[in-house]
Amino acid sequence: MATLDSTDLSLGKKPAIIVVDITPGFTNPECSLGSNADSVVEANIALLKVFRERNFPIFYTTVVYRDASEARVFREKIPCVSDLAVDSPWVDIDPRLEPQPGEVVVEKLWPSAFFGTALAQQLRAVGADSLVVTGLSTSGCVRATVLDGMQHEYPVIVPREAVGDRDAEAHASNLRDMQLKIASVKPLAEVIDELNGIEV
């Protein structure tokens, strides 16, 4: 089978970062959804430092359920997702990232950061022209957000070290597929260099 002709994407003049579900529910192995994601957290800390220095928009997402009727089919398919209840210890942004004033936390019910949220309008309001998408997990909420970002006409960059998955094979295959069809998957150092090279 022939390989698709796929071009590389670059960041614009005002990229926004979407940090997907880096919450204890996904970074703490004690949660049924969690795994050891320390290296992913460290990569995101490095990215957030650059975004804050350059004053580029920062968004986080978290899955939060307040009612048994929310995202009924999703929760039927993956029952442990219901652990992400509003009164659980799993839904706040991982404290190692320490969201700062003005950084937006988007609550969602489904995998994509865009579906059923105000994220698209919020990105337009801050004038974002491209996206860096990071977080957990590569094969689930990250991929869904990357796909929807592209479908909202944003070039999307995925820093390889800043995403992770409980399933190593799923992680690798989804990175390959996103690079081929949806986004540009790049080394963390290359993304940081690209961010620092943007004139502001």
Count of H helices and E strands in the chain? 7, 7
Q: Tell me, yes or no, if 141 is annotated catalytic.
A: yes
Instruction: Please say whether the beta carbons of 164 and 138 come within 8 A.
Output: yes
- CA 174/CA 168 separation, integer angstroms: 10
**Residue burial 14-53, b: 16+ Cβ < 10 Å; e: rest:** bbbbbbbbbbbbbbbeebebbbebeebbebbeebbebbee
Question: Per the residue annotation, which of 22, 31, 141, 163 is the catalytic one?
Answer: 141
Catalytic residues: 141
